[in-house]
Amino acid sequence: MGNYNITVLKGDGIGPDIVAEAMNVLEAVGKKYNHKFNFNEKLVGGAALDACGVPLPDDTLEACKNCDSILLGAVGGPKWDNLPSNMRPEAGALLRLRKELGLYANLRPAIIHKALSSASPIKPEIIGDSLDILVVRELTGGIYFGERGHREGKYGEEAYDVEAYSEFEVKRIAKTAFEAAMKRNKRVTSIDKSNVLESSKLWRKAVIEVAKDYPEVELDHMYVDNAAMQLVRNPKHFDVIVTSNIFGDIISDEASQITGSIGMLPSASLSDGAFGMYEPIHGSAPDIAGMDIANPIATILSAGMMLRYSFGLNAEADAIEAAVTEVLDAGYRTPDIYSEGTTKVGTKEMGRIISEKIK
């Protein structure tokens, strides 16, 4: 019997709705496979701001540092948009959690389920009936964590943000990408802007060095502007994409949009070892919070990634993914993915049906 301690950060907006269903699915997995998942719920983001005056209370951070893994819903909303950046839920909670916990590797699968292939905005002859891309984004370096400030310049006040990477940071994330590729189709595309940026020249050099340790993996390089174009022109070229924090932020959103439903896609943010934070890629959608219409599948699949990457429970992760596929094939849809001829269900019902398939 496995015993796992999970810090649960439901967050804001639809966060509590979707995380509740992921917890139910984990409970179903625990019953079937004889595991115990211990949930410790803590405040984060706007909910923490309202209750405690800060987006990441000390006891929340402490709980995150002393658990086996973290399950996160979503943070933020218009209510807190006008606060100073260090107090906003996104920067004050998410960026700080990533830095404090050393979560440097962000894995974002962009997957099209066969049952939802018609939802993709890409032509069927390009996309086919399925797609499976893994974006590996460096998460704790680059321009989002670099030196920043204001100064007097040639034309008056200037603002600046510095993009800087060490060889160590690049090699670390490249290794994550190559290890992932070894379990997939053994192809890595590294995205940079080395024709212009010094940081990208170092990035490309470091990735090439790491590639020597993985002779079975095919490596190619793309400038970020070309990669953005190729993702919509020829998405099946890609297997594993590895790139910097800012490029990954943009490219992973583009890849997710190709799938047709942002409500379907999970993510994992990993540190060295097995520790990770798991969350859907979509936002908090406060306008539909509590209405029982949010899609919980991205969060449920994020819980599946937790089982696979942090706990090494591959059969259990497979069971979650198979249950989701079975439910979609049976025609069940939340409103965001509903189409004529399918069966519309709410957040709770979708979670219940997936849990039943696992049992």
The residues annotated with a catalytic role in the active site are: 144, 193, 225, 249, 253
Distance of alpha carbon 150 from alpha carbon 53, whole angstroms: 27
Distance of alpha carbon 338 from alpha carbon 315, whole angstroms: 29
